[in-house]
Amino acid sequence: MSAPTVAVLRSEDRSAPLASALAAAGAVPVLCPLIANQLPEEPAQRAAVRDELERLSEGTYAWVAFTSVSTVRALLALVPGEDESGVRPPPAIQLDVAAVTKVAAVGQATALALEACGVRVDLVPHSEHSARGLLAEWPLLEDTGAAQVLLPAADLASPLLRDGLLERGWRPSDVLAYRTVDAPGDPALLLSGPVPGHDEVSAPATARHLEPGELAEALVAGTLDAAVLTSPSTARRVVHLLAGRPSATGFIAIGARTAREARAHGLRVDAVAASTDPAGLVGALAARDGAAPERKQS
């Protein structure tokens, strides 16, 4: 029996750990980044993030919530500022969060990144690693004088956490930390470099590579065993590439929100990963294997 081929569609800077985990589990990863994460283009937007970082260091906020590893990396990239030539300096290695401010992380990968930056993490949801999971375990507001919450996030982030906190009496302030764009993105603004707290991993030598057009044809023909959707924006990008054609390939979604988005657009979701790390996705692939239809031979 041949090794299953699994398409990894997440941004290039985040695909290697998942590809390596799939290879270790006996699969052949097929890399085709459909999205990219980059800093905001406008200097005023980047300046707004730096202003919030200063307020964070001064203890203005009672809480700050990090809903992805990419958010941590974006804030690190903006800590030093730009020199007069506009050249972006290397990312910082520390985030300055006041001792009075409590910190929430969406999952263990984000918590590890924060701890590597010298930030103590006070809340990681035990059940669902998502904005919904954070909201479900967020503490009750006891002091209305200490109700400010900073929510740095991507441009496509769900408003669920912000709206839920508002309903409970908190005063959330969101700030644009990074943008999700179609790959390959602007090289000058791309989030790059190793993820704090995580070993730097290279894509395995067994990995194959496809261009987006080739990926679409493979999905339609069913010559892949599965494809991984790591975000709602990735699901939407797949739908755009398919251009109305049905995919004969089933998908593994990371999180309930991604699964809902994929299904809403008519994509077949064969499994939903229980956690956002590579092990969770590999586990979802293993759980799916017994029920997945046989792929077509190319």
Rounded to an integer, the average pLDDT of 253-277 is 88
pLDDT score of 288: 76
| Number of Cβ atoms within 10 Å of the Cβ of 222 | 18
Question: What confidence tens digit (pLDDT) does each residue in 162-208 have?
Answer: 999 999 999 999 999 999 999 999 999 999 878 888 888 888 999 99
Confidence of residue 81 (pLDDT cuts 50, 70, 90): low
Cα 6 to its chain centre, rounded Å, is 19
Confidence of residue 297 (pLDDT cuts 50, 70, 90): very low
Over 80: is that where the pLDDT of 135 sits? yes
**pLDDT for 292:** 43
pLDDT above 50 for 293: no
pLDDT of 283: 79
Residue 152: phi and psi, rounded to 5, are -75, 135
SS3 of residue 117 by DSSP: coil
Strand order, beta sheet including 208-209? 208-209, 28-31, 5-8, 226-229, 251-254, 269-273
- The pLDDT tens digits of the residues spanning 216-247 come to 999 999 999 999 998 999 999 999 999 999 99
Cα separation, 117 vs 100, whole angstroms: 17
Phi, psi of 176 (to 5 degrees): -75, 110
Mean pLDDT of 20-39: 93
pLDDT at 88 over 70: no
Does residue 127 have a pLDDT over 90? Answer: no
Q: Is the pLDDT of residue 255 over 90?
A: no
pLDDT of 141 above 70: yes
Question: Chain-wide mean pLDDT for the chain?
Answer: 89
Tell me the C-alpha distance between 45 and 40, whole Å.
6
